[in-house]
């Protein structure tokens, strides 16, 4: 496959929410909504479809981390259930919101870098 050598590396570019082609323009308009195109190089973001990928990866990572921490606290200190709810609910929400935007940017940048497209059947 022929790669664009002038494009910035996809991982840092995607994590910062920048255009996958030039690395200067912003990818997002709002928190998770994509801009129609890059204001710097004009790349049309119509190709970008991360689907449920970012939510799945964030949910999996945050779920594993929170469950491990909750089990450690439970087995070490045996706090009441209401304390677990006060500790882990805000942390789960905060981590999820913190990680979903960079993961969406990363998946879109990787999609651009690898020229990923929706699968089609040959006829």
CB neighbour class for 78 (10 Å; exposed up to 12, middle 13-18, buried from 19): exposed
22 neighbors 41 (Cβ within 8 angstroms): yes
Write out the H or E segment, with its range, that includes residue 102.
helix 81-113
29 neighbors 35 (Cβ within 8 angstroms): yes
The pLDDT of residue 27 is above 80: yes
Confidence of residue 33 (pLDDT cuts 50, 70, 90): very high
d(CA 53, CA 56): 5
Confidence of residue 34 (pLDDT cuts 50, 70, 90): very high
The pLDDT of residue 18 is above 70: yes
pTM of the model: 0.88
């Amino acid at each position: 496959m022929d790669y664009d050598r002038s494009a910035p590396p996809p991982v840092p570019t995607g994590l910062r929410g920048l255009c996958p082609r030039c690395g200067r323009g912003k990818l997002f308009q709002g928190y998770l909504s994509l801009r129609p195109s890059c204001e710097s190089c004009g790349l049309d973001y119509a190709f970008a479809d991360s689907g449920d990928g970012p939510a799945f990866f964030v949910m999996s990572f945050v779920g594993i981390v929170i469950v491990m921490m909750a089990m450690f606290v439970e087995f070490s200190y045996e706090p009441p259930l209401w304390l677990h709810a006060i500790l882990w609910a805000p942390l789960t929400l905060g981590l999820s919101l913190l990680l979903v935007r960079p993961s969406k940017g990363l998946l879109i940048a990787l999609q651009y870098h690898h020229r990923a497209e929706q699968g089609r059947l040959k006829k």
